[in-house]
């Protein structure tokens, strides 16, 4: 039995202990097919005011430039689908991923634990861990390793669990058994495209972020354009519309991660509570109350 096989099995077994749903492996290298797509997306200014998307173009496409000596990209999925949702349908809406503790801290702790375990069982393995914190094309790597396919809304879709999960990566200098990609199961379905109120999904797998409600409620620092003012559908932090209508998300099941449990401050507030908040920035208030 090869050490490559043994090491891969050890890493995938550790995935379950840490609560990740799935683990897939790809060979670290240049994402040749993604290069022209990313360049075109940037040239059309679909990244809006997210200037950081323009930086580190080469590193974004090649993890060996981000982590010298990298041989493998280990992609991970962590479920965040909540069991407790906002109770008042008329209240301003918050994306499901933001109902619990900030995922950056939760997932990063798990990844550090993961690397420590690798060092204990395998030895000195170099690399870095990532969770939406560096120029890594997470969805593309996850798709490349067979964890799902990129849907028309550009999100990674999984046949068993849909798309309500966080993505994370280990980019390491350890050679592992590679997993292959899976086919696209979206077919002729256009539910996500048809449901988007701002027409942000402009092509198969292409989203104009400058029109996306998630961008408009989180990333955009300027005043909201009148073009979008009546299209927000009460979303104040993020947006789940394209995920909520996706047929594959009928398979979503509540997570088992205590840190992601929906905070009662968010789920119990009704429309009147929101309207009476003295601070117009509701998200600033609830983040402060949660100690984040």
Please provide the DSSP assignment of 114-183 as one string: HHHHHHHHT----EEEESSSSS--HHHHHHHTTS-EE-TTSSEEBTTTBT-EEEEEEEES----------
Instruction: Please report which confidence band the pLDDT of residue 288 belongs to, taking 50, 70 and 90 as the band edges.
Output: very low
Answer whether residue 58 is part of any domain. yes
For the chain, what is the domain count? Answer: 1
Answer whether residue 251 is part of any domain. no
pLDDT for 2 equals: 61
Answer whether residue 69 is part of any domain. yes
Which residue segment(s) compose the domain that 57 sits in?
3-84+95-172
* pLDDT average, residue stretch 149-177: 97
Q: What is the largest CA-CA distance in the chain?
A: 65
Answer whether residue 276 is part of any domain. no
Answer whether residue 212 is part of any domain. no
Mean of pLDDT over the chain: 92
Answer whether residue 216 is part of any domain. no
pLDDT at position 199 over 70: yes
Residue 197 Cα to chain centre, angstroms: 21
- Write out pLDDT tens, residues 228-278: 999 999 999 999 999 999 999 999 999 999 999 999 989 999 999 888 876
Q: Which two tokens stand for residue 160?
A: 């068993």
pLDDT for 204 equals: 85
Measure the CA–CA gap between 137 and 14, rounded to whole angstroms.
23
pLDDT at position 282 over 90: no
pLDDT for 91 equals: 94
- Structure letter (DSSP) for residue 231: S
Judging by DSSP bridges, how do beta strands 93-94 and 235-237 pair with one another?
A: parallel
pLDDT for 192 equals: 98
- Write out pLDDT tens, residues 72-89: 999 999 999 999 999 999
Answer whether residue 106 is part of any domain. yes
Q: List the catalytic residues.
A: 132
pTM for the model: 0.92
pLDDT at position 283 over 60: no
Lowest model confidence (mean pLDDT) among 103-107, 201-205, 281-285 = 281-285
pLDDT for 161 equals: 94
- As a whole-number percent, the residues of the chain with pLDDT over 90 amount to 86
Answer whether residue 237 is part of any domain. no
Contact predicate 72/63, CB 8 Å: no
Helices (H), ranges, the chain: 3-17, 34-43, 57-61, 63-66, 103-121, 138-144, 191-195, 213-214, 226-229, 241-244, 264-267, 271-275, 282-289
């Amino acid at each position: 039995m090869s050490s490559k096989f043994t090491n891969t099995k050890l890493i995938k077994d550790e995935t379950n202990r840490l609560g990740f749903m799935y683990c897939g492996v790809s060979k670290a290298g240049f994402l040749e097919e993604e290069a022209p797509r990313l360049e075109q997306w940037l040239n059309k200014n679909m990244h809006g005011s997210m200037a950081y998307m323009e930086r580190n173009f080469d590193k974004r496409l090649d993890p060996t430039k981000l982590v010298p000596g990298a041989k493998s990209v280990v992609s991970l999925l962590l479920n965040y689908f909540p069991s407790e949702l906002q109770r008042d349908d008329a209240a301003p809406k918050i994306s499901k991923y933001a109902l619990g503790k900030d995922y950056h801290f939760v997932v990063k702790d798990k990844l550090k634990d993961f690397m420590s375990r690798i060092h204990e069982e395998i030895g000195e393995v170099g690399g870095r861990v990532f969770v939406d914190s560096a120029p890594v094309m997470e969805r593309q790597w996850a798709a490349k390793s067979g964890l799902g396919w990129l849907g028309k809304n550009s999100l990674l879709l999984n046949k068993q669990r849909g798309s309500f999960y966080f993505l994370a990566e280990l980019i390491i200098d350890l050679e592992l058994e590679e997993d292959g990609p899976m086919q696209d199961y979206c077919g002729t379905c256009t539910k996500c495209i048809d449901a988007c109120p701002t027409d942000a999904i402009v092509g198969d797998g292409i989203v104009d972020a400058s029109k996306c409600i998630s961008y408009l409620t989180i990333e955009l620092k300027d005043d909201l354009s009148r073009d979008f003012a009546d299209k927000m559908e009460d979303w104040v932090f993020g947006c789940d519309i394209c995920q909520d209508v996706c047929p594959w998300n009928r398979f979503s099941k509540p997570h088992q991660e205590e840190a992601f449990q929906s905070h009662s401050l968010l789920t119990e507030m009704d429309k009147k509570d929101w309207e009476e908040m003295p601070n117009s920035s509701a998200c600033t208030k609830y983040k402060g109350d949660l100690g984040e």
